[in-house]
Amino acid sequence: MPDDSDGQVKQVEIQGAGPVEFGKISYSEEGVWAYSISEIAGSDAEFTYDDTIYTLIVEVRQQDVTLVSSMTITKEHDADTAFEKAIFENNFVPAPTPSPTNPSIPAVPSTPNPYVYRFSFTKKWLGGVEDSIDWTLYYPNGSERHKWFNKEIISEDEWYYEGWFSSEMDYYLIENVPEGYKVRYENVGAHAGVTDRCYNGGTIINYKVPRTGDTANLILWAGCALLGVGAICGAVGLRRRKKTKR
């Protein structure tokens, strides 16, 4: 080992970049000696330290009356590649600098979503389908309210509408019934019995009215009327039978 070694270890310190030597080693006989060369990582958080480990092989042999030596330097796990020197490269990685805050510019608070109340309804067609519908939206006090709605096609004869409002109110809408149709409103919740307007969550149903002179529809309606009469008679008869049993 070189002079000033601590047992089988010799350390040297490098300040900045540049070469350094471990010192001379004297050999008095033939043989092969192996040494490991590595860097001890520093404590500076802004540096990444090279963790390469080199292997130094020194072979000493007798030549005539003198000893001669040869040296080979390789990297650990790569004994096939020889190097002239053991080189360690450390990289400086500066810590990110926080952006300075300007006290003269106040922070801008996030803007809450002003639309918190959803109003929706379903449109159904019976006996025919039109391209669009028209309605008037009202405030609870009966004054008109203008609002855009999003439309979703559920099927050819069923559409879904949805609109968002900044506050919750008991809005309602009344359809401008298309020509040749009648309308029926079906509501839910507190408005389940209301049939002259559509509240939130309700359904507007349009059904086709037979045209005058349409023989096929007249026959159909006549048949439906007869079935209606039969249903009434059946209901009356059933009621009477129940009364007789009492």
| CATH label of the domain that carries residue 181 | 2.60.40
More confident site: 211 or 168 = 168
More confident site: 70 or 92 = 70
Lowest mean pLDDT among 59-63, 77-81, 229-233: 229-233
- At 212, is the pLDDT very low, low, confident or very high (cuts 50, 70, 90)? low
Question: What pLDDT score does 221 carry?
Answer: 45
Residue 138 to residue 177: CA distance in whole angstroms: 16
Q: Which helix (H) or strand (E) holds 33?
A: strand 31-38
Q: Are residues 123 and 87 in the same domain?
A: no
Q: Is the pLDDT confidence value at 131 over 80?
A: yes
The average pLDDT across 116-136 equals 92
Asked which of 29, 59, 92 is the last residue of a domain, the reply is 92
Q: Does residue 218 form part of some domain? A: no
Asked which of 92, 109, 128 is the last residue of a domain, the reply is 92
CA distance readout (Å), 61 to 67, 70, 148 = 6, 9, 97
Q: Is the pLDDT confidence value at 13 over 80?
A: no
Structural domain count, the chain: 2
Q: Are residues 86 and 130 in the same domain?
A: no
Residue 149 to residue 120: CA distance in whole angstroms: 9
For residue 238, give both structure tokens: 């059933």
Q: Is the pLDDT confidence value at 239 over 60?
A: no
Question: What pLDDT score does 169 carry?
Answer: 92
More confident site: 227 or 107 = 107
Closest CA to 179 of 121, 134, 142: 134
Rounded to 5 degrees, φ, ψ at 82 are -100, 145
Q: Are residues 127 and 63 in the same domain?
A: no
Residue 139 to residue 146: CA distance in whole angstroms: 10
Which residues are CB-contacts of 40 (< 8 A; sequence separation ≥ 6)?
Answer: 11
**Strands 135-138, 172-175: pairing kind:** antiparallel
Residue 93 to residue 95: CA distance in whole angstroms: 6
Q: What is the mean pLDDT of the chain?
A: 79
Q: Are residues 121 and 57 in the same domain?
A: no
Residue 154 to residue 223: CA distance in whole angstroms: 32
Question: What pLDDT score does 144 carry?
Answer: 93
pTM value is 0.43
CA distance readout (Å), 87 to 37, 204, 225, 243 = 10, 83, 103, 112
Q: What is the DSSP letter of 190?
A: G
End-to-end CA distance of the chain: 123
15-26 pLDDT, tens digit per residue, is 767 677 777 888
Q: Does residue 80 form part of some domain? A: yes
Q: Is the pLDDT confidence value at 137 over 70?
A: yes
Q: Is the pLDDT confidence value at 55 over 80?
A: yes
Q: Does residue 184 form part of some domain? A: yes
Going edge to edge, which strands form the sheet with 117-126? 150-155, 158-165, 117-126, 203-208, 181-186
Q: Are residues 21 and 58 in the same domain?
A: yes
Asked which of 92, 127, 142 is the last residue of a domain, the reply is 92
Question: What pLDDT score does 60 carry?
Answer: 84
Q: Are residues 51 and 121 in the same domain?
A: no
Look at the chain and count its residues.
Answer: 246
Q: Are residues 81 and 25 in the same domain?
A: yes
Asked if residue 55 lies in contact with residue 75, where contact means CB atoms within 8 angstroms, the answer is yes
Most confident among 37-41, 48-52, 181-185 (mean pLDDT): 181-185
Q: Does residue 171 form part of some domain? A: yes
Question: What pLDDT score does 101 carry?
Answer: 62
Q: Are residues 69 and 134 in the same domain?
A: no
Q: Does residue 112 form part of some domain? A: no
More confident site: 11 or 59 = 59
Q: Are residues 75 and 123 in the same domain?
A: no
Give the bridge partners for 9, in sequence order.
Answer: 6
Lowest mean pLDDT among 30-39, 87-96, 166-175, 235-244: 235-244
Q: Are residues 2 and 87 in the same domain?
A: yes
Question: What pLDDT score does 191 carry?
Answer: 96
Domain span at 160: 117-208
- pLDDT above 90: percentage of residues in the chain: 33
